[in-house]
Structure 1
Amino acid sequence: MVDLAGSEEHAARILVASNRGPVSYSLGDDGELESRRGGGGLVSGLSAIGPEAGAVWVCAALGEGDREAVRRGVGEPGSRMIAIEPDVFHAAYNDIANSALWFVHHMLYQTPLEPLFDEEFRTQWAAYQTYNAAFADALAEEAAEGAAVLVQDYHLSLVPAMLRERRPDLRVGHFSHTPWAPPDYFRLLPDDIAAELLEGILGADRAAFLTRRWADAFAACCVAVLGATLSDDGLEITWRGRTTRLGVHGLGADGDFLRERSRRPDVADRIEALRTEAGPGRKLIVRVDRTELSKNIVRGLLAYRQLLTDHPGWRTRVVHLAFAYPSRQDLSIYREYTAEVARVADEINAEFGTADWKPVLLKVDDDFARSLAAYRLADVALVNPIRDGMNLVAKEVPVVSDNGVALVLSREAGAFEELGDDAIVVNPYDIRATAAALNTALTQPDADRTDRTKRLASAATALPPSQWFLDQLHALDD
Structure 2
Amino acid sequence: MVSEQAAAPAAQVLVASNRGPVTYALEENGELTAKRGGGGLVSGLSAIGDEADALWVCAALGEGDREAVRRGVGEPGVRMLDIDPRVHADAYNGIANSVLWFVHHMLYQTPLEPAFGSEFRAQWASYETYNRAFAEALAQSAGDGAAVLVQDYHLSLVPGMLRELRPDLRIGHFSHTPWAPVDYFRMLPDDIAEQLLRGILGADRAAFLTGRWADAFTACCVDALGGTSGTRIGVHGLGADADFLRERSRRADVEERLVALRDQVGGDRKVIVRVDRTELSKNIVRGLQAYRQLLEDHPEWRERVVHVAFAYPSRQDLAVYREYTAEVRRLADSINSEYGVAGWTPVVLHVKDDFARSLAAYRLADVALVNPIRDGMNLVAKEVPVVSDEGCVLVLSREAGAYEELGEDALVVNPYDVTGTAVALHEALTMPLDERAERTKRLAAAATALPPAQWFLDQLGALG
Shared fold (TM-score, shorter chain, > 0.5): yes
Check if 1:395 corresponds to 2:382. Answer: yes
| Structure 1 residue 278 displacement after superposition | 0.6
- Quote the residue 1:285 is aligned against: 272
Amino acid at match of 1:294: S
- Quote the residue 2:141 is aligned against: 142
Query: How many angstroms apart in 2 are the aligned matches of 1:341 and 1:381?
Result: 18
Report if aligned partners of 2:8, 2:79 keep a CA contact under 8 Å in 1.
no
Amino acid at match of 1:265: A
Deviations 1:76-107 (A, max 9, x none): 00010000000000000000000000000000
- Quote the residue 1:123 is aligned against: 122
Aligned to 1:425, the other structure's residue is in SS state: strand
Identity of aligned residues (%): 77
Query: How many angstroms apart in 2 are the aligned matches of 1:473 and 1:225?
Result: 29
Deviations 1:170-218 (A, max 9, x none): 0000000000000100010000000000000000000000000000000
- Quote the residue 1:245 is aligned against: 232
Amino acid at match of 1:387: R
- Quote the residue 1:73 is aligned against: 72
Query: How many angstroms apart in 2 are the aligned matches of 1:220 and 1:114?
Result: 24
Report if aligned partners of 1:271, 1:373 keep a CA contact under 8 Å in 2.
yes
Provide the aligned C-alpha RMSD in A. Answer: 0.7
- Quote the residue 1:453 is aligned against: 440
- Quote the residue 1:39 is aligned against: 38
- Quote the residue 1:164 is aligned against: 163
- Quote the residue 1:422 is aligned against: 409
Unmatched runs of 5 consecutive residues or more in structure 1:
1-7, 229-236
Check if 1:222 corresponds to 2:221. Answer: yes
Aligned to 2:83, the other structure's residue is in SS state: coil
Aligned to 2:449, the other structure's residue is in SS state: coil
- Quote the residue 2:4 is aligned against: none
Amino acid at match of 1:353: G
- Quote the residue 2:105 is aligned against: 106
Amino acid at match of 1:42: L
Report if aligned partners of 1:10, 1:141 keep a CA contact under 8 Å in 2.
no
Amino acid at match of 2:96: A
Amino acid at match of 1:113: L
CA, structure 1 residues 162+275, in 2 after alignment: closer, same or farther (shift >3 Å)? same
Which residue, out of 429, 435, 447, partners 2:422?
A: 435
Deviations 1:270-301 (A, max 9, x none): 11100011101100000000000000000000
Aligned to 1:91, the other structure's residue is in SS state: helix
- Quote the residue 1:55 is aligned against: 54
Amino acid at match of 2:72: G
- Quote the residue 2:354 is aligned against: 367
| Structure 1 residue 11 displacement after superposition | 1.2
Amino acid at match of 1:160: P
Amino acid at match of 1:81: M
Aligned to 1:145, the other structure's residue is in SS state: strand
Query: How many angstroms apart in 2 are the aligned matches of 1:158 and 1:331?
Result: 24
Amino acid at match of 1:263: R
- Quote the residue 2:256 is aligned against: 269
Report if aligned partners of 2:8, 2:77 keep a CA contact under 8 Å in 1.
no
| Structure 1 residue 108 displacement after superposition | 0.1
- Quote the residue 2:397 is aligned against: 410
| Structure 1 residue 9 displacement after superposition | 5.2
- Quote the residue 1:194 is aligned against: 193
TM-score (norm 2): 0.98
Aligned to 2:215, the other structure's residue is in SS state: helix
Summarize the alignment of residues 6-17 of structure 1 with structure 2, pairs less than 5 Å apart.
Answer: 10-17=9-16
Deviations 1:391-441 (A, max 9, x none): 000000000100010000000000000000000000000000000000000
Aligned to 2:177, the other structure's residue is in SS state: coil
Report if aligned partners of 1:323, 1:362 keep a CA contact under 8 Å in 2.
yes
Report if aligned partners of 1:146, 1:171 keep a CA contact under 8 Å in 2.
yes
- Quote the residue 1:321 is aligned against: 308
Which residue, out of 304, 309, 324, partners 1:337?
A: 324
Query: How many angstroms apart in 1 are the aligned matches of 2:170 and 2:441?
Result: 39
Query: How many angstroms apart in 2 are the aligned matches of 1:128 and 1:365?
Result: 31
Unmatched runs of 5 consecutive residues or more in structure 2:
1-6
Aligned to 2:231, the other structure's residue is in SS state: strand
Query: How many angstroms apart in 1 are the aligned matches of 2:132 and 2:8?
Result: 22
Amino acid at match of 1:287: R
Check if 1:465 corresponds to 2:464. Answer: no
Query: How many angstroms apart in 2 are the aligned matches of 1:260 and 1:296?
Result: 30
| Structure 1 residue 226 displacement after superposition | 1.3
Aligned to 1:83, the other structure's residue is in SS state: strand
Aligned to 2:463, the other structure's residue is in SS state: helix
Report if aligned partners of 1:57, 1:79 keep a CA contact under 8 Å in 2.
yes
Query: How many angstroms apart in 2 are the aligned matches of 1:137 and 1:9?
Result: 14
| Structure 1 residue 10 displacement after superposition | 2.8
| Structure 1 residue 384 displacement after superposition | 0.1
Q: Give 4+ residue runs of structure 1 displaced > 2 Å after superposition.
A: none
